Amino acid sequence: MKSLNLYKERDIRFEEAADPVIEHFDQVIIKVKAVGICGSDISRYQKLGPYEEGMTFGHEFAGEVTEVGSKVSCVKVGDRVAGCPTFHCGECVPCQKGELSRCERLTVIGARQPGAYAEYVKLPADNVLLLPDNVDYTTAALVEPSSVVAHGFYRTSIQPGSEVAIVGCGSIGLLAVQWARIFGAKRVFAIDIDSSKLEVAREVGADVTINALENPAHEQLSEWTNGHGVDLAVEAAGSPITSAQVLALPGKGGEVVYMGIPYADIQIERYYFERIVRNELRILGSWNAISPPFPGEEWHSSLHYMSRGDINVHPMISHQLGLEEGPGAFENLIQQRGDYVKVIFNPENE
């Protein structure tokens, strides 16, 4: 089968790989119809390299079941499905406490076992979710990042009528705009330095867009909130700069949840750090997207709200490509060539 395999930093290759084979009674083979590039994939491509040389990459996907193990009854050949790509050990202390996202041996497909940048992928049946009839494959490919965002919101104290600021309008931030609405936000602020991404943010539900290149984001936000700040600020950019600046957005007693991952040291100016103390902020980290009962309510809620139309991913999709275009797409993304937001590969469209 055709696949995209990561060999080292900035070395991803379009090449043949062996088709997956059923080896255990609980396994499912899925023909990949759509698979997205995750921000973590870009970082691993650019800076970190593979866990295992030549590993088939990718983990955000949806497709059609083509084969099932002898004891699989939850799905059948021909079913339209999405896949939870994450595995937990079930044995470590966090797993025993039901804190699955904190598993000490957490891993995903595309890391130490073949991923979804391929024509076919294999998963245990427990990791497979049936799609509602009205959820298309492109939408379903974003169930994983949507669940990551939902997991973060479940950790917060957001109430209907809250005001929420989203920092960073990549795919995680754009999904966060929509989840803020689902959680009942009265007003959603989207913050970025890219005007085209801010336009998409408004299209998916942001009430106010703030370009931080014009004036510091917290100063602009203060004008909109009469100096009170927001109830919740979401860091979705994964930037060392915004990881500090986000602390100035909530008002007194507010919250910050970090969903982005800055792959560099963070230097926090005194002004931003003092916001934690003086405003008595609650600071939360959020990692991955699984919870009990596995894979968690994050996944079922994502599919539910996609089915209702409350989560609309199509304005976020900037490119739909064949797998053979993968090496060029990754290089364009890190070189910031073109208006890339979310890239979806369609393995059938070679």
Q: What confidence score (pLDDT) does residue 274 get?
A: 97
pLDDT digits 0-9 by tens, 52-62: 999 999 999 99
Checking if the pLDDT of 350 tops 80, the result is no
Indicate the length of the chain as a whole number.
350
Of the pLDDT bands very low, low, confident and very high (cuts 50, 70, 90), residue 349 is: low
Using CA atoms in the order 333, 337, 341, 342, what is the torsion angle rounded to 10 degrees? -50
In order of their start, the domains of the chain are 2-142+313-345 (3.90.180.10), 147-285 (3.40.50.720)
3-state secondary structure the chain: CEEEEEEECCEEEEEECCCCCCCCCCEEEEEEEEEECCHHHHHHHHHHCCCCCCEECCCEEEEEEEEECCCCCCCCCCCEEEECCEECCCCCHHHHCCCHHHCCCCEECCCCCCCCCECEEEEEHHHEEECCCCCCHHHHCCHHHHHHHHHHHHHCCCCCCCEEEEECCCHHHHHHHHHHHHCCCCEEEEEECCHHHHHHHHHCCCCEEEECCCCCHHHHHHHHCCCCCEEEEEECCCCHHHHHHHHHCEEEEEEEEECCCCCCCCCCCHHHHHHHHHCCCEEEECCCCCCCCCCCHHHHHHHHHHHHCCCCCHHHEEEEECHHHHHHHHHHHHHCCCCCCEEEECCCCC
Checking if the pLDDT of 338 tops 80, the result is no
Q: What confidence score (pLDDT) does residue 238 get?
A: 93
With left for phi above 0 and alpha for psi between -120 and 50, is residue 225 left, alpha or beta? alpha
Q: What percent of the chain has pLDDT over 90?
A: 95
Distance CA 17, CA 93 (A): 37
pLDDT digits 0-9 by tens, 253-298: 999 999 998 888 999 999 999 999 999 999 999 999 999 999 999 9
Checking if the pLDDT of 208 tops 90, the result is yes
Q: What confidence score (pLDDT) does residue 48 get?
A: 87
In this prediction, residues 318-338 reach a mean pLDDT of 92
Give me the chain's average pLDDT, please.
Answer: 96
Name residues whose C-beta falls within 8 Å of residue 201's C-beta, 6 or more positions apart in sequence.
166, 169, 173, 174, 177, 190, 192, 209
Q: What confidence score (pLDDT) does residue 341 get?
A: 81
Distance CA 137, CA 317 (A): 13
With left for phi above 0 and alpha for psi between -120 and 50, is residue 69 left, alpha or beta? beta
Q: What confidence score (pLDDT) does residue 335 get?
A: 87
Across 23-32, 41-50, 156-165, 211-220, least confident range: 41-50
With left for phi above 0 and alpha for psi between -120 and 50, is residue 163 left, alpha or beta? beta
Q: CA angle, 198 as apex, 328 and 176 as ends, to 5°?
A: 90
In this prediction, residues 96-117 reach a mean pLDDT of 97
